Amino acid sequence: MKPAPFDYVRPDSLGEACEILASDEDARIIAGGQTLIPMLAMRLARPAKLVDILRLQELHGIRADEGAIVIGAVTRQVEVERSEIVRRSLPLLAKALPWVGHPPTRNRGTVGGSIANADPSAEIPLVAVTLGAEIEIANPPDRTRMPADDFFIGPMLTSVMPGDCVCAVRFPVWTHPRVGTGFHEVSARQSDFAFVAAAAQVALDESGRCIAATLGLGGVGDRAIRIDVAPLIGDIPARKKIADVVRAATGNLEANSDLHASADYRRRVAATLGIRALEDAFTEAVSANGASP
C-alpha cells in the first residue's frame, strides 16, 4: 500500500500548473487527494509527476456572479457544507453535501476534485447535472465553460483534455420566490457509494402552480442524468401525477448491474427515490414563505 515514486511540484499559478501539465503527459493534478491517493496506494495510478493545485488562491472560494454561485475547484467540500451563501442560494447542493463521503474526507476533498473524478454515483456531479451547472475549464490562455451534460461522458470519464484544468463550477441560482428541494440516496452503509441517488428542485408561483422542476438521478447508469419532468409544469402538483410522470420517465432507463444491485433493482429504486425527492421538494416549496432566496 505504498505509492510508486513520483515527482511533486506545487506551482504558484494556474498558468504555471497548466504549462507543466501540457509539457508532461504523465503529470496529474492533485488537490484534496481523497480519491487519487488511494488509487496511488493501490498502484492503479502511477503518474510520474503530481501537480499540487490545492493552494492556488485563484481556484478557491464561493462567490455570486451573474445569477450563479461559482465555486472554485479547490474549495473543500466542508467549506461548501458550512457556507451560508450555499444554504441560501443553492439549497439542493447544501442538502446533498452531507451525503458526500464522510466528515474526514469532506475536510480534505474538493468540489473540483469530485467533478473531475466523475464517479457515476457521486453527489456533487449529480447536483451539477440536475441544476444544469457549467464547468469552467482552463487551458491558458483560454477559459471555457462547458455544460455539465457535455462534461460528464461516462464512468470516471470527462471531456477534459490533457493539459486542461477544471477551475470552477458555476451553479445556476433559482430566484423564484418559492423553491423546494429533495435529496434521497440508497447505499450499503451511510456514507458509502450510492447505488442510486435522486436530487430534485422545484419552484411554485403564488397560486401554488409548478413553474419549474428538475429531477436528476445518479448511480443508475454510467453518469448522472436528468429525467424529463416537464409534464409537471403548469399544474398544482398531485401525488399521483408525480408518481406517474417519474415512473413513465424511468421505466426504460439504462441501468448498470453489479454484485450489489441488479439493473432492475436500480430502476425500481430510481423511480421510488425520484418520487420521494420530488414530493419532498414540493412539500418544501408549498411551505416556503415567499421570502427572496
Partner 1 sequence: MKVRLTINGREREADVEPRKTLLDTLREDFLLVGSHAGCEHGVCGACTVLIDGEPSRSCLMFAVQADGYDITTIEGLAPAPGELSIVQDAFCETHGLQCGYCTSGMILAAHALLERNDAPTRADILEAISGNICRCTGYGQIVEAIEHAADRLRKTNVPRGGRP
Residue range at the interface with partner 1 (CB under 8 A); choices 1-9, 173-181, 234-242, 246-254: 1-9
Q: Which is nearer to partner 1, 7 or 150 (CB)?
A: 7
**Minimal distance in Å, beta carbon 116 to partner 1?**
17
Selected binder of partner 1 within 67, 104, 154, 162 (CB under 8 A):
104
Residues of span 210-269 touching partner 1 by CB under 8 A? none
Q: Which is nearer to partner 1, 78 or 271 (CB)?
A: 78
43 binding partner 1? (CB under 8 A)? no
Q: Which is nearer to partner 1, 191 or 283 (CB)?
A: 191
**Minimal distance in Å, beta carbon 165 to partner 1?**
18
Strand duo 27-30 + 49-52: pairing: parallel
Residue range at the interface with partner 1 (CB under 8 A); choices 28-36, 125-133, 269-277, 284-292: 28-36
- Our CA angle for 133, 161, 257, nearest 5°, is 65
- Exposed/middle/buried for residue 291 (C-beta within 10 Å: 0-12, 13-18, 19+): exposed
Q: Which is nearer to partner 1, 33 or 120 (CB)?
A: 33
Q: Which is nearer to partner 1, 35 or 272 (CB)?
A: 35
Chain centroid, CA 168 distance in Å: 12
Question: Which residues make Cβ contacts (< 8 Å) with residue 238, sequence separation at least 6?
Answer: none
Q: Which is nearer to partner 1, 77 or 250 (CB)?
A: 77
41 binding partner 1? (CB under 8 A)? yes
Residue range at the interface with partner 1 (CB under 8 A); choices 30-38, 85-93, 238-246, 285-293: 30-38
C-alpha cell at 102: 464522510
Site string for partner 1, 172-201 (x = CB under 8 A): ------------------xx----------
**Minimal distance in Å, beta carbon 109 to partner 1?**
9
Selected binder of partner 1 within 14, 18, 21, 40 (CB under 8 A):
40
DSSP lists the bridge partners of residue 171 as: 69
38 binding partner 1? (CB under 8 A)? yes
**Minimal distance in Å, beta carbon 30 to partner 1?**
8
- CA dist 245 and 211 (Å) reads 16
Selected binder of partner 1 within 12, 25, 26, 42 (CB under 8 A):
42
Place of cell 413553474: 211
- CA dist 32 and 52 (Å) reads 9
Binding stretches for partner 1 (CB under 8 A): 1-8, 30, 33-34, 37-38, 40-42, 50, 52, 54, 78, 98, 101-105, 107-108, 190-191
